Amino acid sequence: MTSSPPDRTDIDLTCGARGLSRMADTAGISKQLLSFIIAGDREVTADVYRRFAEALLR
């Protein structure tokens, strides 16, 4: 079973209007890459998973 990407409204409610920029900056990835991942246009790589995990530990 595949899951569909989250709705933009759900993301804004979860992260706030500027939350995605802050999330991308914290993880050290571009805002454009994060936007592509959320839209389902790019796969999440092991490197991106690692960067987010490290950011959560800080």
Q: Where are the domains of the chain?
A: 8-57
Q: Is the pTM of this model over 0.85?
A: no
What's the N-to-C CA distance of the chain in angstroms?
Answer: 33
Give 10-residue mean pLDDT values along the chain (58 residues). 57 63 88 87 92 87
Q: What is the mean pLDDT of the chain?
A: 79
